[in-house]
């Protein structure tokens, strides 16, 4: 989607009337396509189905921008429950989290202590936590928290970085002493041209650049995209440089390009699907609409059918 169209959808999505309407009817109108369900058990079932197709997962309890300590503590407890449920059910999945769900907007130290608990649990259960990247105002704090966690639990935490931000390549350089595991993706938020490339072409170029750079550095690279062009360029580079299969994976979102996910598995690549669940699905859902106009048409068609 063009940057202007994306901004329009994200701005409309912030409108209170639209929010109320979609919160009430959204799941039945089509949000369910992108969200595994409202409960953790729904999400574990979705992961079982993906695992049966050779696709592993990363589970995400939907929620962000919380301003009450009680809510952040609940988010922390749910993240720990996810790690326990993965362990008990034996599914192949790790965990993804957003720091604003865990208290980043309340107090950075509080958020760090919540994350220490979560990543400590992942360490105990031999699992892994990926920190999603949110809007550009959160990048400095997210990186600072990632650094502390990574120093304490080097094997159990990774970060997501966005190709649309001018700063990302420098952030990668600054963090290279940590030998980080990154999920690299284009970026999903409504960012001004002062901080992010306005043109899709430049975002794509930077995406390719940082993927190659991270693969060349020998660090684990999760290539998170549904863009076949980006995927093919990555596949060619991986083959040309004989990058081992243990050093990369492809990642896609639940309900998007499922055939492509299965095709990559058949070709022998590791594929991880991001599986979100929970009641607070609206912000996630509006970003998925903003990425692709056809998704809005899909929702409108469902609305007309009702
Ligand atoms: P692009 O937007 O160019 O789309 C290429 C093609 O993919 C489209 O033509 C269409 O076929 C398909 N496609 C893309 N989006 C679609 C959609 N919503 N519905 C249907 N088809 C779609 N962002 C962020 O800022 N922080 C984060 O932490 C994450 N985390 C994350 C995890 C994973 C596993 C993925 C795959 C993505 C993210 N993202 C994210 C979102 C990411 O930044 C980006 O917005 C989307 O992946 C869309 O970009 P693409 O690379 O898919 O390409």
Q: How far apart are the C-alpha atoms of 100 and 105, rounded to whole Å? A: 6
Closest residue to atom 3 of ligand 1, CA basis: 227
Separation of 220 CA from ligand 1 center, angstroms? 20
Give the H or E element holding residue 203.
Answer: helix 200-217
Q: Which residue has the tokens 């596949």?
A: 235
Cβ within 8 Å of residue 241, ≥6 positions away: 215, 216
Q: Is 132 a catalytic residue?
A: yes
Q: Within 6 Å (CB) of ligand 1, which residues are found?
A: 132-133, 160, 162, 183, 185-189, 224-227, 230, 251-253, 256-257, 274, 288, 291-292, 295
Mutate to test the pocket of ligand 1, among 226, 252, 293 (most ligand atoms within 8 A of CB): 226
Low pLDDT (below 70) residues in the chain: 1-3, 8-13, 15-29, 300, 302-306
What per-residue confidence (pLDDT) applies to 289? 81
Angle at 214 (CA atoms; ends 198, 135), nearest 5 degrees: 40
The catalytic position among 6, 105, 130, 183 is: 183
Determine contact, residues 275/47, Cβ cutoff 8 Å: yes
Find, among 261, 289, 218, the residue nearest to 22 by Cα. Answer: 289
What per-residue confidence (pLDDT) applies to 290? 83
Ligand 1 atom closest to the CA of 186, numbered from 1: 43
- For 63-97, the pLDDT digits (tens) are 998 999 999 999 999 999 999 999 999 999 999 99
Separation of 225 CA from ligand 1 center, angstroms? 5
What per-residue confidence (pLDDT) applies to 159? 98
| DSSP character at residue 58 | E
pTM as predicted:
0.94
């Amino acid at each position: 989607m063009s940057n202007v169209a994306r901004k329009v959808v994200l701005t409309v999505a912030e409108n209170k009337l639209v929010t109320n309407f979609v919160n009430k009817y959204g799941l039945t109108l089509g949000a369910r396509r992108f969200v595994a369900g409202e409960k953790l058990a729904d999400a574990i079932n979705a992961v079982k189905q993906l695992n049966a197709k050779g696709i592993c997962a990363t589970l995400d309890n939907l929620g962000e921008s919380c301003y009450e300590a009680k809510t952040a503590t609940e988010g922390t407890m749910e993240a720990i429950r996810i790690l326990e449920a993965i362990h008990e059910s034996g599914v192949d999945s790790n965990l993804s989290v957003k720091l604003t769900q865990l208290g980043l907007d309340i107090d950075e130290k509080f958020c760090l202590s919540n994350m220490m608990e979560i990543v400590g649990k992942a360490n105990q259960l031999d699992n892994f936590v990926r920190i999603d990247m949110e809007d550009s105002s959160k990048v400095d704090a997210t990186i600072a928290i990632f650094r502390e966690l990574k120093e304490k639990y080097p094997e159990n935490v990774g970060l997501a970085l966005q190709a649309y931000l001018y700063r990302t390549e420098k952030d990668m350089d600054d963090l290279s002493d940590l030998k980080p595991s990154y999920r690299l993706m284009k970026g999903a938020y409504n960012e001004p041209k002062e901080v992010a490339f306005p043109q899709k072409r430049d975002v794509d170029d930077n995406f390719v650049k940082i993927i190659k750079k991270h693969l060349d550095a020998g660090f684990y690279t999760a290539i998170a995209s549904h863009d076949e062009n980006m995927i093919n360029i990555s596949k060619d580079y991986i083959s040309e440089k004989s990058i081992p299969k243990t050093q990369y994976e492809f990642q896609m979102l639940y309900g998007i390009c499922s055939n492509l996910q299965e095709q990559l598995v058949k070709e022998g690549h590791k594929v991880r699907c991001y599986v979100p669940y929970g009641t607070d699905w609206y912000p996630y859902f509006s970003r998925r609409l903003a990425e692709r106009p056809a998704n809005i048409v899909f929702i409108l068609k469902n609305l007309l059918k009702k």
